Structure 1
C-alpha cells in the first residue's frame, strides 16, 4: 500500500494568469486577422470589380430603407479607393412619395462622388469630390408644410434641406425645382456650371431662374462668390437680385454654409415705383407710395424676418427705422418708423389718393381716379378688406414736419394697430400751426359694410397761424379756435362712410381779434365792403366776442346747429349745411348790426358749389331784391326813400357766450339777456343735393 501511494502521479499545477492572457490574445489576434483578411478580400473584390455586381442589391436595399424606388439605368460602381467610398452611377433616379406632384425626387445623367464612409453614419455628410452632370432635382413640401420629398421615412415630419460638405465639385447642366404650396412658392432654377478645385471654388456659383411667390411672378439671379472660402463651409459670399412686383430687390452677405441663412445678417436693398405693390406680395396692405428706395439689414430667425437700420426715401420724403415680419399662424408686421420731412403729396395715399395723380393733376383728379364723381374730393377707393383680415400689424411712426403751402403741420405721432380686420389709428397726434390735434380713427372691417368712426379734436389754435396761407394776417390777429369732429358711419370707402355718417361737428372761437382782407364780407357793412374792395386792407381788426360753427350730421348731411358769431359790431348767424354724399355746399351767413347803419344790405352771403369748387355769393338774390325795392321807392317817392331798403335799424341781440363757448346746440342758445334765440337753425334741413 505504501508503495502504491508513493507511485501515484501528482495533480497538474493550475495555469498562470499570464498563460490565460496569452490564450485570449491569440484568439483576438486570429479574429482580427480574419476580419482584416475578410475586409481586404471584400475591398479587393470591390476594387477589382468596381462593385458593379452590387447594382441590384443597392437598388433593393436603398429602396427599402428610403421607401422610395431607386434605379440605376446605366453603369454602377461602389467601392473603396483606397479608404474613400467611391460611388458612380449613370441614369440614377430616386422617386418621390405618392403625395408629391412630381414622380421623381432626383435624377442624374452621371454622378461620380468620393465620400467619407463614416460621415454616412455619424455627423454631417462629407463629400470629398463630386462630379454631377444632367442633374434634375424636385424639392416639394406638402400643402400643410409638414412633410417634404427629401425627408425619407414614410410620414416623417419634414426636416430642413441640408447640403453635404463638398470639398471639390464639378456641376454641369443641372436644374432644381422647389415648391411650397403653403407659402405658396414655386421656383425653377438653373445652376450654372461649377468647377471647384483644391477645396476652393474656381468660379462663382451662378443660379438663375423664374417662379411665382403667392401669385406674383419673379425672376432671380444669384451668385456665390468664394475666392478664399471652401464650398464645404466656413464662409460663402452671396449676391442675389430678384425682380418682382415692379421692384428690384438686392441681397448680399456672407453665409456659413451654402443654404445656411438662419441668424445671418444680410444686406438688402429694394427700389421700385410703389412700395405697396411689393408688400402686397406677402399680403401686407399699406397706402400707395411714389418711387421708393430703401436699404436695411435682414436677419432671419425661425419664422421671423427682422429688418433693422432701415434708411431710404419714398417720393420726396425720407424714411428710417425697423420692422419685423413674422410668418406664424397669422402674418404679423411690427414696425417703428421715423420720417424727418414728409411731403404733403406723399401723405395723399393715407386718405386714398394716388400720389402720382395728385402731383400731376391735383386732388380732384386723384379723387376721380378712385371712382368718385366729377368735381369730388372725397376718395372712393375701397379699403383692402380681404387683405386687412389676413394679417395683423402694429406701427409706431413719428413725422417731424409736413411740407405744405397752406397749413403748417409737424410733430406727427401715429400709433397703429391692426388685429383681424380692425384697424385703429389711436392715438394720432400732430401740431397744426401752434395748436395740437388728437384723433382716434377706427376702421372695423369685421362688420359688413365696415364700421368707421372718426374722433378728431383740435386744441386751442391761433387763427393767424392756422389760416396764414388763406389771407389771414398773423399780426393783429389774436383770435383762436378749438373744436371736435365725432362721426360714425358705415362703408368700405372714405366717401361711403361719411355719406352715411351721423354725429356732430363743432368749432368754438373765444374772445379775440381777426384781421384779414376779406373776413368782414359777412358783416355786409357797405362802407367797409367798398373800403376793402378798393383799398385792399382794413383800418382795424374785427373784435370777436365769441363764436360757434357747429353742425349736426344725420345720414351724411351736416346742418348748421348753430352758426353764431358775436362781434363788437354785429351778430353773424348762418343756416344751411353740406352733404358728404354729393359734396354739395349750401350755406348762408347773415350779419345783423347792433347799432344803426345806413349802408347795410342785411342780406346773406352765400357759399354754394361743392367741396372741390366752393363759390362765394356776395351779391345774393336777396340783396338784388332789396336793391330793386330801393330803386322802386326812389322812383315812386324820393331818392332818399330808396335808401330805406338798405337801412339796418341795429336791433341784433348780442349772444350769451356761455352756450356758445360750451358748443351747445341751437335750441340751447340765448341772447345776452337770457332769452331763447330765434335767429339760429335747429339742426333740421332737407337733404342737400
Structure 2
C-alpha cells in the first residue's frame, strides 16, 4: 500500500510512532520492533514540515509559522478590501475621524478605503468636516470628490506624503477667533493652544473648482483665494498651477496672483518655479524662485522685492507691529528652513536712509517671533521721526517742520501717535540695529547701537547707545504694555562731553571753551504715546558741569553786566576765558512738570542761579536765570534773564520787569535827588556766595546745596516752580493764592 509522505502512523493513545518510510513493512511488524503489532494504531495526516525547517530550533519554527500566518491574514484583509473597495468601512471611518478630530465628519456619497496595490487609496464623495462652533463658516472642509493615494510605509512612520490628490469642488475655511486664541485648523481639544498650519506634501495633484478662505478678525484680514484648474495624467501635471485671490486688510483691499510653473519636473527631481505678485495697503510684493514641491516650503530658494509707502503695513500681514516708515524699497533672498522664514542679504532704502541686514520670522509655540540684525550707514533724522511717533505724512510734506503742530494756538513738538500696545502683546522680537551716522542739523550724532527685546508685551531697549558730540549716551528704556496703562521707564546717561563741540552749532566756538557736561535722566511715565508718557512722568533730570572754561562773551551776556562787558569790549578781551568752578542744571519732575532743583553755576566772578521750570503737558517754559557778581560792579543789571515760550518756540527776554523797575527807580532818584543817583539801582555790591562744589558735582537737590562755608543756600529755591507772592491781601481780606506756574500748580 502506498502512503503519502506527510502521513504518520499514529498510536491512538500516545500519538505518532515512527516515520512511514516503509508503511507496508511497518504494518507487518517487520524489523526489531516486535511489539509494534500489539499496539492499536491508525494512519493520520499531520502538518507538513520542510526538511530545512525541521532542522531549526522549535522557537524559530514557531516564529516563522507566526509570520506566515500574519502574512496570510494581511493578504486576506488586503484581498477583502481590494474586492469590496472598503466601502463597508464608511460608518466606522466617520465615527473614528469624528472622535479623533472632535469635529463632525460626514460623507454623503461613495466611500472607498483600500490598498491599491501597496499605497492606501482614499476616495470620498460629498465629504464635510465641520468647523468649531465659534467659526463663521460652518464647514472647515468640503469637497465634491476627494481621491488620494498615501504612501503606506511613510504613513506608518507618521509622514503625511500624498503621492496623488484629486480634488473637485474643494473649499477650505481657515479662521481665527476674535481674540486670536483659537484657530479652525487646530483639531482636538478646543482649549488647546493654537497650532501652526502644516500642509501635507503632495507629489501630484489634479484640482478643479477649488479654493481657500482665510479670516483673522483681530488683524481684520479676510482673503478668498481661487485655485485654477489643474490637470494630471499618470505621473505628469499637464498645466501650470495658477491661483488668484482678493481680500481686505484693515478695511483696505488687496489682490494677489501667482503660479507654479514647470511642475512636471518635480517627480524627476526638479523644482517648481513660483511667481507671486501681491498689491495692497500701498505695498507691492513680488516673490519669485523655486520650491522643492508644489506644497513643500522646506528648502525653498526665493527672491523677494517689496516697495510701498509704509513698511509697517507690510508687517501687518504677520500680526506684527513695527514703527511707521517713510516710503521704502527692499530686496532680499527668501528661504524656509527648520520652520523659519529667513530674509538674508536685505538691501534697500526707507525715506532718504539706507538699510541692510537680515530678518528671520518663526512661530515657536504658535507665537510669532522676529529676529533681526539691521544696519544703516547714513540715517536722515527725518526718517527716524516715525520711530518715536511723528506722523509720516507731515514729515514727507514739511520735513523737520512737520514735527511741530499748532494745538489751541500753541506749538507742540512732542509726538502723540499712539503706541500699538495690543499688537505688542501678540508677538516677540529680538533686534540689533546699528547706525553709523545720523544726518541732523543741530547735534552731531553717530555710532547708534540699539539692542531691543520684546517678550509678551515687555519691550526693553537695553542698551541704546550713541555718540553725541564725542560724548557717549547710554540708555535703558523699557515699555511695558502688559498693564492696562502702558508704563515707560527712562534711564539715560551722558558721559562727559565737551561743551564747545556740543554747542558749536548754536554759535559757541570750540576755541577757548574747555568745559564739559555730563548728565542723567531717570523718569517713569504712563501712556501709550511719548507725549502722554512724559506728561505723566515723575523723576529727575540733572546735568553737571565740572571745572573748565567758557567764553567770556557768553557769560557776560548772560549776566548783563554792562560795565564789565563794555570794558572788555574796548580792551579787545572779548574772548578771554572765564573759569567755571562747578555747576549743576537739574530739574525734579512731578506729574509731568519739571522744577529747577537747582540751577546753580559757580564761576570765577559770578554765581548763576535759576528758578522756574517747564511742563511736558503744555510744553511751556517759564524760567528766570540771573547772575550775582562776586566782585563790586558799578553798572550791573542784577536782574534775571527770562526764558519762556514753548519747546518748539523758546524765547529769551533780557529786559525783565525787575530791570525796568530798576530803571524807573533810578530815573526817579535822578529827578528828586541828583543825576548821579541814576546809577544807584544798578550798583552790584558783589556779595554772591560761592558754592561748595561737592553737592553740585553730585547733582544733589537744592536742599542739599551749601556755600563754601558749609551753610545751606537760601538762593536756589526749594525744587518747586511756584513763585512766592504771599504778601498782598485781596479785596475780601483774604491772602492771595501763590501764583500758579504755567496754569498747573
TM-score, with normalisation over the residues of structure 2?
0.73
Query: Given that residues 118 and 152 in structure 2 are in contact (C-alpha distance below 8 angstroms), is that contact kept between their aligned partners in structure 1?
Result: no
Aligned to 2:666: 630
Q: Offset at 1:549?
A: 1.0
Q: Offset at 1:608?
A: 1.0
Q: Does 1:688 align with 2:688?
A: no
- Distance verdict in 2 for CA 1:517–1:206, change over 3 Å: farther
Could you tell me how far apart the structure 2 residues matched to 1:257 and 1:493 are? 47
Aligned to 1:655: 691
Aligned to 1:338: 375
TM-score, with normalisation over the residues of structure 1?
0.78
1:299 maps to which of 335, 352, 371: 335
- Distance verdict in 2 for CA 1:475–1:71, change over 3 Å: same
Aligned to 1:175: 210
2:505 maps to which of 469, 472, 475: 469
Aligned to 1:252: 288
Stretch of structure 1 that moved more, 443-452 or 335-344 = 443-452
- Distance verdict in 2 for CA 1:182–1:145, change over 3 Å: farther
- Distance verdict in 2 for CA 1:618–1:266, change over 3 Å: same
Q: What is the correspondence of 1:108-119 to structure 2 with a 5 Å cutoff?
A: none
Q: Offset at 1:394?
A: 2.1
Could you tell me how far apart the structure 1 residues matched to 2:569 and 2:321 are? 51
Render the CA deviation track for 1:320-358: whole Å, top value 9, x for unaligned: 222333323433222222222211111112322124423
Could you tell me how far apart the structure 1 residues matched to 2:186 and 2:695 are? 73
Could you tell me how far apart the structure 1 residues matched to 2:508 and 2:250 are? 54
**Aligned residue pairs, count:** 631
Instruction: Specify every segment of 5 or more residues in structure 1 that has no aligned partner in the other structure, as ranges.
Output: 1-8, 22-41, 150-156
Render the CA deviation track for 1:500-530: whole Å, top value 9, x for unaligned: 3222221111122223865532121214656
Query: Given that residues 342 and 359 in structure 2 are in contact (C-alpha distance below 8 angstroms), is that contact kept between their aligned partners in structure 1?
Result: yes
2:323 maps to which of 267, 287, 290: 287
- Distance verdict in 2 for CA 1:621–1:536, change over 3 Å: farther
Query: Given that residues 517 and 536 in structure 1 are in contact (C-alpha distance below 8 angstroms), is that contact kept between their aligned partners in structure 2?
Result: no
Aligned to 1:378: 414
Q: What is the correspondence of 1:230-241 to structure 2 with a 5 Å cutoff?
A: 230=266, 234-241=270-277
Could you tell me how far apart the structure 2 residues matched to 1:114 and 1:555 are? 68
Instruction: Specify every segment of 5 or more residues in structure 2 that has no aligned partner in the other structure, as ranges.
Output: 1-23, 29-42, 51-78, 96-104, 188-194, 723-739
Aligned to 1:32: none
Aligned to 1:495: 531
Query: Given that residues 324 and 333 in structure 1 are in contact (C-alpha distance below 8 angstroms), is that contact kept between their aligned partners in structure 2?
Result: yes
Aligned to 1:266: 302
Q: Residue 624 of structure 1 aligns to a residue in which SS?
A: helix
Q: Residue 653 of structure 1 aligns to a residue in which SS?
A: coil
Q: Residue 622 of structure 1 aligns to a residue in which SS?
A: helix
Could you tell me how far apart the structure 1 residues matched to 2:150 and 2:642 are? 93
- Distance verdict in 2 for CA 1:232–1:160, change over 3 Å: farther
Q: Does 1:679 align with 2:715?
A: yes
Stretch of structure 1 that moved more, 419-428 or 459-468 = 419-428
- Distance verdict in 2 for CA 1:382–1:138, change over 3 Å: closer
Query: Given that residues 559 and 626 in structure 2 are in contact (C-alpha distance below 8 angstroms), is that contact kept between their aligned partners in structure 1?
Result: yes
Query: Given that residues 215 and 281 in structure 1 are in contact (C-alpha distance below 8 angstroms), is that contact kept between their aligned partners in structure 2?
Result: no
Could you tell me how far apart the structure 1 residues matched to 2:604 and 2:517 are? 18
2:204 maps to which of 153, 166, 172: 166
Q: Offset at 1:447?
A: 2.9
Render the CA deviation track for 1:404-426: whole Å, top value 9, x for unaligned: 11101111121222222222222
Aligned to 1:26: none
- Distance verdict in 2 for CA 1:92–1:665, change over 3 Å: closer
- Distance verdict in 2 for CA 1:461–1:359, change over 3 Å: farther
Q: Does 1:422 align with 2:458?
A: yes
Render the CA deviation track for 1:602-639: whole Å, top value 9, x for unaligned: 11111011111111111111111111222222222332
2:651 maps to which of 607, 615, 626: 615
Q: Does 1:348 align with 2:410?
A: no
Could you tell me how far apart the structure 2 residues matched to 1:266 and 1:385 are? 33
Could you tell me how far apart the structure 2 residues matched to 1:496 and 1:418 are? 21
* CA-based RMSD: 4.5
